[in-house]
Amino acid sequence: MTNGDAGLVRLPILIEPDPARVILRPFLSALDPRDLHRSDLLRATRLIDRILEMNVAAVEAELATTLRDFGARHADIAITFAERYAQIRDLLGLEDDPVEARRLLIGAFFSNEYSFQSIALFNPSIVSHPDQAGLEAGELRFVMSLRATGEGHISSVCFCSGVVTGAGAIRLDPPGRFAMTPRRSTAARLADAYDVTFPPSTELGERVIFPITQQQRNGIEDARLVRFVEDNGRATYFATYTAYSGREIAPEMLRTDDFRRFSFIPLRGDAVSNKGMALFPRRIGGRYAMLARSDGETLQIVRSDDLHVWNDATEILAAAQPWEFVQIGNCGSPIELPEGWLVITHGVGPMRRYCIGAALLDLNDPSRMIARLREPMLTAIKGERDGYVPNVVYSCGSMVHAGQLILPYAASDTATRFAVMPVAALLDAMG
């Protein structure tokens, strides 16, 4: 807003990528062992042979060195080594080694550290936390997802939490000592549905959802969280995201009640064709509703009786101002207000500059636009313009608390910041 940013305040909070945050990953050249090339299997067999030739004392010494150098960087590293050994044993058809130290050492040789946020920590999405106990009056605890990008430009989903006060101040919780990936509960292959679970002992900030399926192998990108409330009042959490195989993208969805157990299900239908799908936080007229985009130049709405099948999109917004001529899209799920559905948008203009705007849709018929900003409410300023992708501000989800829009946003695809703005001022600026 040349006057659209009236009342918007940037908070002095910066969440930067930390290359010291590492997870344990299988050390193999394929995401799924079943996809290994024959030469990889032969090399793995030769490596096993060399370890088997070591005497027990040498094995124990090498394992002790490995545990000394890496044990303090990971929770339950020996358990991970044992699990990794079991995978390799089954893959190569090995007989169980009677020496535990050798089993663990084999697991260590087929593991490696991965710095999952060494490049960027960005594109945040925010929702209210399922646990609101122990807060002061006017406070709200939140969960925030972040897109973490590491070596090879592989993206994963990680989380943080914090509290926002009635005045719009934000306190972030520490991230936790370790970072770890979940255990897979259901076999995953290609685009099949699957479940993952984190141990109860893990903190939210320690949980990292790393690509598992072939469709995801190059990234789980831009999760858009939403707290969804059914007609019976039951609340659960969904996130739409982009699964990237390295060649193709596919919108997918995850579901959780507690941010410890997650179910992943692909989406289907002719409206499932592009990035940036965002679920409405409740049914409208008895049906699910989703924001979508098929061409990059229009924002659409799709309705469905089946949460996983989406057809027949209807256009609701098109690029109207120069700052959004190149591309328009949403910045997360719509937010329900008495005045209508608040949709935070993004637009791309000259020099591929990304800006953030907003629109208001009718509560009962969200295919009808009531108002929108003519000018962006957020544009990259000095200190935000330089990064992995310059001149970009972007968000995957915001929320309203105590009359304030709480807007976490990414700066130049590198780090994450916060802005707050009175909802009344935002609505007043719409024409």
Mean pLDDT of 124-152: 98
The neighbour count for residue 14, using CB atoms within 10 Å, is: 12
pLDDT for the residue 31: 46
CA-CA-CA-CA dihedral for 211, 218, 90, 95, to nearest 10:
-110
- Asked if residue 3 has pLDDT above 70, the reply is no
- Asked if residue 357 has pLDDT above 60, the reply is yes
pLDDT for the residue 186: 56
List the domains of the chain with CATH numbers.
Answer: 9-20+120-429 (2.115.10.20), 25-115 (no CATH)
Query: What 8-state DSSP symbol labels residue 248?
Result: -
Closest C-alpha to 208, from 174, 160, 265, 151: 160
* Confidence tier at 2 by pLDDT (50, 70, 90): very low
CA-CA distance, 138 to 209, in Å (whole number)?
32
Mean per-residue pLDDT over the chain, rounded: 94
CA-CA distance, 323 to 129, in Å (whole number)?
34
CA-CA distance, 395 to 147, in Å (whole number)?
11
Locate 85 and state its tokens: 């050994």
* Confidence tier at 35 by pLDDT (50, 70, 90): low
pLDDT in tens, 140-184: 999 999 999 999 999 999 999 999 999 999 999 999 999 999 998
pLDDT in tens, 289-318: 999 998 989 999 999 999 999 999 999 999
The β-bridge partners of 328 are 347
* Confidence tier at 97 by pLDDT (50, 70, 90): confident
CA-CA distance, 235 to 242, in Å (whole number)?
23
pLDDT for the residue 1: 44
- Asked if residue 419 has pLDDT above 50, the reply is yes
- Asked if residue 188 has pLDDT above 60, the reply is no
Return the biggest CA–CA distance within the chain.
Answer: 78
* Segment among 159-173, 183-197, 358-372 with least mean pLDDT: 183-197
Please check whether residue 36 is in contact with residue 29, taking contact to mean a CB–CB distance below 8 angstroms.
Answer: yes
Radius of gyration of the chain measured on its C-alpha atoms: 23
pTM: 0.94
For the purposes of burial, counting CB atoms within 10 Å of the CB of 278, is it exposed (0-12), middle (13-18) or buried (19 or more)?
Answer: buried
For the purposes of burial, counting CB atoms within 10 Å of the CB of 156, is it exposed (0-12), middle (13-18) or buried (19 or more)?
Answer: buried
